[in-house]
Chains A and B, each alone.
Chain A
């Protein structure tokens, strides 16, 4: 089994304990944070395990890239201090089990990954994808499995991920364009953290879109809109891709609104928090986020992850803001119609 590359000496020298002090759901001062974190390092019990909403943000807060969240998930499973109800864990583990129902297109060295999300296939159409649209993979055999970070099941990730990497490699893929942010995060954060070798290049679809838009620069009609960007949990594992949001927006004339809940202080879609913690916390997160979008004058809310779209898009629309997926936004800028609608 792959093991987490966790360096406790980095934590020993850390004065800020940002992983816990900056947590949006725990109110800890540095001393308390240090004490609780040390318990987790030592393999002792801590209330952190049950309080954690699995927003992933501590991965971004850690200045050493020491993977505090992955350690939390490891400890949750070890101590059986589960983040989620058991029945939901079981459901997810069963639902994404590889059973040979994967599908592939005419796979070439460069291929699109639709993960386990059929609607991504509908998004990857039009001029921006015409060179690569026929080359794709989808199914549990290619599913990144990062979702189990929400379900205290690092063991499932460690068991399934090496096989997934092998399955993708067997297709002869040299560059995998990940249309699901979480897949990119898996191959560029989770896999290295566990020493799992990834023999192909995983490219984030933001980067792909940015390069394609440059190719079609003459087709771009600036949108001249103000947009709130909805960060999803897995972007916390790969904060280095955030600049592509700004780069793309700049190319197509979109203003990324400065608001309270963006960048490091972003709020997630709330769906997982709702499931794991209940109505009050989950809806509070969603309400604060939407209020903030309205307050800062957002005309559009740009989504990265389809899993955020489901619980949030309709509510965004009810507040008078147009929800749009990043791919659709780019499509709009070159005169094509969006695919995903509420």
Chain B
């Protein structure tokens, strides 16, 4: 073990490697409900070459490696289940290039959403990337690897759909370029017209390599933005409402939420409808189209638009939304976790009812929310619970609620997003055997020593 430590010191310098108790304690856990497990070492590389050396060392010594961004997935994906080395990517924080005309940015593996957003606002105010609702310290690569979603997901899909090139250190130590950048200086495509190899790394939760650079598509930053909130007391109408709104192709983003507190939100279902424009006329035209699309519900009294006073709008327009952080600390004590099944829109009513049922059954504070993905092909539904970390009994009730939510989701036809270890196993039990075999072959081919984030997507 001493040799590993000394070699890591040689690779990154002694200031950026630790086997001390403090770091091992900190890197053993995430803010969710999974049990902690300590790593043996924590290391913070600065360059791709340093990552490469760390991986080679890990292969030589058969030491597990867990790449980590900000560790905010909440589902234990960066907890080193079998010890080993946690590779903290925060020092790889360069924004390498912005191609303004082709609208993409190349970032290193540790660049955060907050930094990228601020950088674009300052240097390229007419460009933006899709910002998730996670705190600004969440990393771009970490979020993409788990198929995250953000403000532009309704228009352009999962964040992994917005990738246009990768640089990856493979589990065997080779540095590999994926997409157009493998044959060209331009990072405009992650695959087409060639075979799309990005799928070997996206969604694998760090089990097939470490992404050291990523190219991400950028989109127009419109000058004006606004939000309307449509409210209905009939969850069964939500899929139709979403269908009608997305049919207009007028909106930027749409989130759906329900929660019992505060009282003004109780027993209703709310749809936050975001739209943008470069002129007042464009903005108003979009608003008009959205209102017209839902006129039948106003006429039937099944739904209507909330009057939003000007002082409330910034709260809704925030991205990321601070209100999510406020909810996450509702019980104080900093505990928050959610199960995020990806579902077809038609399942929304039963999931919304289930969220209420779980809140009542387990006496936990719940919030049910969802984000429409790419014009309603599907949505991310979130069973979210907040708890006090000092209250172990409450945490246990939240665990049970999340467990039941996951089982319910799979039973109904959902696919679980950023699944915990247990949820991965639940999905693998249901997965087509040939699909499992393919995953196993890929994993064995790429990571013959089984060093990468072991435990995750592990096929028995």
A residues neighboring B (CB under 8 Å): 82, 84-88, 90-91, 94-95, 97, 99, 271-272, 274-280, 283, 310-311, 314, 318
Contact = CB atoms under 8 A, between A and B. Distances in A.
Given A278-B299, A279-B291, A318-B280, A311 B307 contact: yes
A321 to B, nearest CB: 16
Contact of B266 (A94, A279, A280): A94
Contact of A310 (B287, B299, B309): B309
Contacts, number: 71
A90 B233 contact: yes
Contacts of B310: 310, 314
A275 B263 contact: no
Interface string B298-310: 1101111111011
B235 to A, nearest CB: 11
Nearest to B292: A279
23 contacts: A84-B301, A85-B298, A85-B301, A86-B301, A87-B231, A87-B233, A87-B268, A87-B269, A87-B303, A90-B267, A97-B263, A272-B307, A274-B307, A275-B304, A275-B305, A275-B307, A276-B304, A278-B295, A278-B298, A279-B287, A279-B291, A279-B292, A310-B310
A278 B263 contact: no
A82 B292 CA distance: 20
Interface in B221-238: 231-233
A98 to B, nearest CB: 11
B75 to A, nearest CB: 33
Interface in B263-305: 263-269, 280, 287-288, 291-292, 295, 297-299, 301-305
Contact of B303 (A85, A271, A280): A85
A94 B263 contact: yes
A94 B259 CA distance: 13
A132 B135 CA distance: 45
A88 B231 contact: yes
Interface string B320-342: 00000000000000000000000
Contacts of B263: 94-95, 97, 99
A248 to B, nearest CB: 26
A88 B266 contact: no
B11 to A, nearest CB: 58
Contacts of A271: 307
Contacts of A278: 291, 295, 298-299
Nearest to B268: A87
A50 B30 CA distance: 55
Contacts of B288: 279, 283
Nearest to B312: A310
A272 B305 CA distance: 10
A34 to B, nearest CB: 27
A59 B227 CA distance: 35
B239 to A, nearest CB: 16
Interface-central residue, A87, A271, A311, by most chain B CB under 10 Å: A87
Nearest to A83: B301
Please give me the 3 A-B residue pairs with the lowest Cβ-Cβ distance, nearest first. Answer: A85-B304, A279-B291, A95-B264
A219 B8 CA distance: 79
Nearest to A81: B301
Contacts of A276: 298, 304
A85 B307 contact: no
A91 B268 contact: yes
A258 B61 CA distance: 89
Nearest to B291: A279
Contacts of B265: 91, 94
Interface in B211-262: 231-233
A271 B309 CA distance: 11
A85 B297 contact: yes
Contacts of B264: 91, 94-95
Given A279-B287, A280-B292, 18 more contacts: A85-B298, A85-B304, A86-B233, A87-B232, A87-B233, A87-B268, A90-B268, A91-B231, A91-B306, A94-B264, A95-B264, A97-B263, A276-B304, A277-B298, A278-B291, A279-B292, A279-B295, A310-B307
A314 B224 CA distance: 15
A79 B321 CA distance: 41
Contacts of A84: 301, 304
A88 B291 contact: no
B298 A86 contact: no
A311 B297 CA distance: 22
Contacts of A275: 304-307
Contact of B304 (A87, A283, A311): A87
A283 B263 CA distance: 30
B282 to A, nearest CB: 15
A314 B310 CA distance: 10
Contacts of B307: 271-272, 274-275, 310-311
B305 A274 contact: yes
A330 B233 CA distance: 44
Interface-central residue, B267, B302, B306, B307, by most chain A CB under 10 Å: B307
Contacts of A90: 233, 266-268
Contacts of A91: 231, 264-265, 268, 306
Contacts of A314: 310
A85 B231 contact: yes
A209 B122 CA distance: 48
A86 B298 CA distance: 10
Nearest to B231: A87
Contacts of B302: 85-87
A216 B255 CA distance: 53
